[in-house]
Amino acid sequence: MEFLDLPPATHAVGSVRLPGSKSLSNRFLLLAALAEGETAIRDLLLSDDVERMLEALMALGIDWRRGEDNDFQVSGADGVFPVKQAELFLGNAGTAFRPLTAALALSNGHYRLSGVPRMHERPIGDLVDALRQLGADIRYLGNEGFPPLEIRPAAIRAGGRVTVRGEASSQFLTALLMALPLTGAGTTVEVVGELISKPYIDITLKLMAHFGVAVEREGWREFRLPAGARYRSPGTVFVEGDASSASYFLAAGAIAGGPVRVEGVGRDSIQGDVRFAEALAAMGARIDMGPNWIEARAPTDGHLKAIDLDCNHIPDAAMTLAVAALFAEGTTRLRNIASWRVKETDRIAAMAAELRKLGATVEEGADYIAVSGGLTFVPNASIDTYDDHRMAMCFSLACLGGVPLRINDPQCVNKTFPEYFERFAGLVAPVIAIDGPSASGKGTVAARVAARLGFHYLDSGALYRLVALAAIRAGVPLEDGPALARIAETLPASFEDGRILLAGEEATEAIRSEACSAGSSKVAAHPAVRAALLGRQRAYRQAPGLVAEGRDMGSVVFPDASIKVFLTATVGARAERRHKQLIDKGMSVSIDTLLRDLRERDARDSARSVAPLQKCADAELLDTTAMTVEEAVEWVVARARQRLPQAVARP
Ligand code: DC
C-alpha cells in the first residue's frame, strides 16, 4: 500500500489557485457534446473523473480536442450521440455515470455502462425508474437498482410528466433534466420526496440556461422543460475553481492562523459549496470574500467554536467541517447528511472510524455525525482513505494538530485534485527561494535566514557537488548524462548539523574543491540529473518552512515559493570574497584565476538549456555588492516577517 507521511504543522498561510470544479467540468462537457456548434471550455479540471467523461464522449463519437493547458474544444453533436453502440467504463465518476445514463437512454442506441466495484454499490434505481416512465429500455446487469447497466434502443414517449425521487441524490434529477431536451418535447418533472443538495440543481439549471435551455421551476417540486428546447453552444465557457476543494484550504486558515486565500471561487460563484465559508464563520473564523476569492483566518482569540448545522446544502464540503470540529471547543453536530452513506464510500462510517484513530469522541447516526473537539491528537495515526478523495484531503488537516500522521493511498485525490498535497504543503511549509550565481554569498545568507526563522535549509548546490564528487571517485565521465543520473537517483547523501556526508563519510570540505566546483556545474547541465534530484529537493519542504538556495529554486523546484529572492553581486565582488575565504583557509589563488573561473561557471549555469540560472519574473533582486552578510540576512528576514507573519511569529 502506498502512503504519505505528513509531518506535524502548526501554521497555514498563503494562497492557492484552485483547480477547476468537477461538477462544472463534467456538466459543461456533456452539454457541449449535446449542443449545436463548437464550445471552447477554459480551465477544465484535469482529473480522473473528468477523464472518464472525456473517454466516454470520445467513444460516443464526440470530437473534442485539448488545446493549451486546460483549454478544450468540443464539437457538439446537436442532439443524440453519433455512435449507436458502445461499452463505457466510468470508474467511480458519479458525475459521468448518472448524466450519461440519462442521455444514452434517450439516444436510441445499444450501450453498456460499468464502473469500479464501488460504483456498482452506488444506487441508480431512482434514475432508471424515471427514465423507464419515458419508455427507455434499461436493464440491470448485476444487482437490481445498481450499475452496471445495459441500455437498448427504445421508442421514447415524448412529453407529459415524469416523476423522480429526490432524497438519495440530486444527481438523478440533474441527469434527467440535462437529458430531456433530447426528446424535443415539453416535459414536466415532478420531484417525489425531499430534494437534497438543492444548490447542485441550481448549478444544473444555470448551465442549461447558458446553453439555451430555460427550465421553469415551481419551488423545488416541479421543473418544466419547454417544447422544442435545444442546446446551443454559447461559444466559450469558463470553469470556476472547485468550491469543495477550497474547503480544505479555508479550513486550514481557520484552524492554523491564516490568512489563507483561495483564488477561483468567491462571492460571484454559482457553486453551493462556497457557503462552506459561512459555516467556518459560524465557528468563529474570520472570512473575507471578493468576487473571485475567499480568505480565511483563525478567530481573533484563536479558538474555533463547535456548531450544530444542517449540512444538506453543502454535502461535500461538510466533510471538512467534521475534521475542523476536532479543533473547536465543544461538540459539533453535522445533520441531514444521509447522502454521505452512498458516496465514494459510506462517508459517515468512514469518517467516524478515522476520526476515532486521532483520539476523537464521535457519535454517528443514520443521517448525522457528532464530533467532540478540543482534542489532544494521537500522534502517528494511520488514516485509511477508502478510495475517497475527500477522506484523504480533509484528514490532511489533522497534521495541524501538531502531530505527524500517515495518509494511506493518497493517490485517491486524483479523482478531483491531483496536486492537492503539493498545494497543502505550500501552506503549512512556506518556501523562501534564494537563487543566484556562484559565490554570491547566498549559501551563507540562506543558512542564517533559516536559523533565524527556525526553518529547514536546503543547499541544492551541495547535491550537484555530491553527484560530481561521487562521479569523479567512481571514474564516471562528467559528460555521461545517463550514468550521472543513475548516481543522482541513488545518491547516498545526508546532511547532519551543517556537515555533509557521502555514503556516511564526511564530504563537507571535499565538495568545495575547485575540481568539484567545476565538475558540479557540468553535472548540473544534464537534464536527467536535474530530474533525478527534483523529488529529493522537494522532500525538504516541511513545516514550519524551508529556505532553499540554488539556481532554480524559484523557477523549477518551488515555483510556488512564498518569497523569491535573486541574490547577486558583481563578478568582481564575488571573486574578492572567494579570494578572502581561500586566504583565510591558508590557500593562495590569483584573483584573475578566480575571476576567470567564476565567469566560466556563470556562463555555463546561465546558458544551459534546462533550468538555467535566471532571475524569474516574480523574484526580487538583492544586489549584495555593497552589503554585509548581516544586512542581506536582515533584508530577507524582514520580507519573511512581512509576508509570512504567522509562520515566523515565533521568537
Ligand atoms: O551553489 P553551488 O555553487 O554550490 O552550486 C554548485 C553547482 O551546481 C553550480 O555550478 C550550479 C549547480 N546548481 C544548479 O544547477 N542548480 C541548483 N539549484 C544549485 C546548483
316 belongs to the catalytic site: yes
- 177-200 burial, b if ≥16 CB within 10 A, otherwise e? bbbbbbbbbebbbebeeebbbebb
> Per residue in 443-480, pLDDT tens?
999 999 999 999 999 999 999 999 999 999 999 999 99
Does any ligand 1 atom lie closer than 6 A to the CB of residue 602? no
- Closest alpha carbon to 241 in 227, 257, 220, 261: 261
Does any ligand 1 atom lie closer than 6 A to the CB of residue 521? yes
- Closest alpha carbon to 411 in 381, 386, 389: 389
Helix %, strand %, coil % for the chain, to 5?
A: 40, 20, 35
Shortest-distance atom of ligand 1 to CA 511: 4
With cut-offs at 50, 70 and 90, classify the pLDDT of residue 532. Answer: very high
Contact call for residues 126 and 162 (beta carbons, < 8 A)? no
Mutate which of 457, 520, 522, 614 for ligand 1? The one with the most ligand atoms within 8 Å of its CB, which is 520
SS3 at position 9: coil
pLDDT of residue 612: 80
Does any ligand 1 atom lie closer than 6 A to the CB of residue 520? yes
Q: How far is the CA of 230 from the centre of ligand 1 (A)?
A: 60
Question: For residue 328, what are the β-bridge partners?
Answer: 304
Does an H or E element contain 287, and which? Answer: strand 286-289
What is the CA 297 to chain-centroid distance, rounded?
20
Mutate which of 434, 540, 551 for ligand 1? The one with the most ligand atoms within 8 Å of its CB, which is 551
Does any ligand 1 atom lie closer than 6 A to the CB of residue 461? yes
Looking at residues 191-210, what average pLDDT do you find?
Answer: 96
| Cα distances (Å, whole numbers) of residue 93 to 100, 165, 273, 389 | 11, 21, 19, 12
Q: Which of 49, 316, 560, 605 is catalytic?
A: 316
Q: How far is the CA of 241 from the centre of ligand 1 (A)?
A: 37
CA atoms within 13 A on the CB side of 39: 29
Q: How far is the CA of 33 from the centre of ligand 1 (A)?
A: 50
Q: How far is the CA of 460 from the centre of ligand 1 (A)?
A: 7
- Closest alpha carbon to 221 in 197, 196, 189: 189
Mutate which of 434, 440, 458, 460 for ligand 1? The one with the most ligand atoms within 8 Å of its CB, which is 460
> Per residue in 541-600, pLDDT tens?
888 899 999 999 999 999 888 899 999 999 999 999 989 988 988 888 899 999 998 999
Does any ligand 1 atom lie closer than 6 A to the CB of residue 464? yes
Shortest-distance atom of ligand 1 to CA 517: 6
pLDDT of residue 497: 83
pTM flag (> 0.85): no
Mean pLDDT of the chain: 94
Amino acid type, 195? L
Owner of C-alpha cell 533582486 = 621
Atom 6 of ligand 1, nearest CA residue: 461
> Per residue in 116-148, pLDDT tens?
999 999 999 999 999 999 999 999 999 999 999
Q: How far is the CA of 461 from the centre of ligand 1 (A)?
A: 4
Does any ligand 1 atom lie closer than 6 A to the CB of residue 540? no
SS3 at position 279: helix
With cut-offs at 50, 70 and 90, classify the pLDDT of residue 651. Answer: very low
The answer for residues whose C-beta is within 8 angstroms of residue 156's C-beta and 6 or more apart is: 106, 108, 134, 135, 136, 183
- Closest alpha carbon to 443 in 422, 467, 465: 465
Does any ligand 1 atom lie closer than 6 A to the CB of residue 438? yes
Shortest-distance atom of ligand 1 to CA 525: 15
- 49-86 burial, b if ≥16 CB within 10 A, otherwise e? bbbbbbebbeebebebeeeeebebebbbbebbbebeeb
Shortest-distance atom of ligand 1 to CA 465: 6
Dihedral angle over CA of 401, 407, 412, 414, nearest 10: 60
pLDDT of residue 642: 86
Q: How far is the CA of 462 from the centre of ligand 1 (A)?
A: 7
The full DSSP string for 121-166 is GS--HHHHHHHHHTT-EEEESSSTTSS-EEEE--PPPPSEEEEEE-
Does any ligand 1 atom lie closer than 6 A to the CB of residue 597? no
> Per residue in 596-634, pLDDT tens?
989 998 888 888 788 788 888 899 999 999 999 999 999
Atom 3 of ligand 1, nearest CA residue: 438
Atom 9 of ligand 1, nearest CA residue: 521
- Closest alpha carbon to 233 in 211, 213, 215: 211
The full DSSP string for 173-203 is HHHHHHHGGGG-S-EEEEEESPPP-HHHHHH
Residue 645 has pLDDT above 80, yes or no: no
Structure-model confidence comparison of residues 585 and 259, the more confident one:
259
Shortest-distance atom of ligand 1 to CA 549: 18
Does any ligand 1 atom lie closer than 6 A to the CB of residue 11? no
Mutate which of 464, 552, 600 for ligand 1? The one with the most ligand atoms within 8 Å of its CB, which is 464
pLDDT of residue 589: 86
Sign of CA dihedral 639, 644, 649, 651: negative
Q: What's the first-to-final CA gap in the chain, in angstroms?
A: 41
Does any ligand 1 atom lie closer than 6 A to the CB of residue 339? no
Q: How far is the CA of 1 from the centre of ligand 1 (A)?
A: 36
Q: How far is the CA of 537 from the centre of ligand 1 (A)?
A: 13
With cut-offs at 50, 70 and 90, classify the pLDDT of residue 529. Answer: very high
With cut-offs at 50, 70 and 90, classify the pLDDT of residue 13. Answer: confident
> Per residue in 285-299, pLDDT tens?
999 999 999 999 999
Contact call for residues 639 and 564 (beta carbons, < 8 A)? no
Q: How far is the CA of 521 from the centre of ligand 1 (A)?
A: 6
Looking at residues 25-35, what average pLDDT do you find?
Answer: 98
Atom 15 of ligand 1, nearest CA residue: 524
> What is the C-alpha separation between 480 and 467, in angstroms, rounded?
12
pLDDT of residue 646: 61
Does any ligand 1 atom lie closer than 6 A to the CB of residue 551? yes
Does any ligand 1 atom lie closer than 6 A to the CB of residue 574? no
Q: For helices 243-255 and 420-428, what crossing angle results, to 10°?
A: 20
- 532-548 burial, b if ≥16 CB within 10 A, otherwise e? bbeebbbebbbbbbbbb
Does any ligand 1 atom lie closer than 6 A to the CB of residue 465? yes
Does any ligand 1 atom lie closer than 6 A to the CB of residue 524? yes
- Closest alpha carbon to 170 in 272, 247, 49: 272
Does any ligand 1 atom lie closer than 6 A to the CB of residue 466? no
Q: How far is the CA of 632 from the centre of ligand 1 (A)?
A: 20
Q: How far is the CA of 526 from the centre of ligand 1 (A)?
A: 12
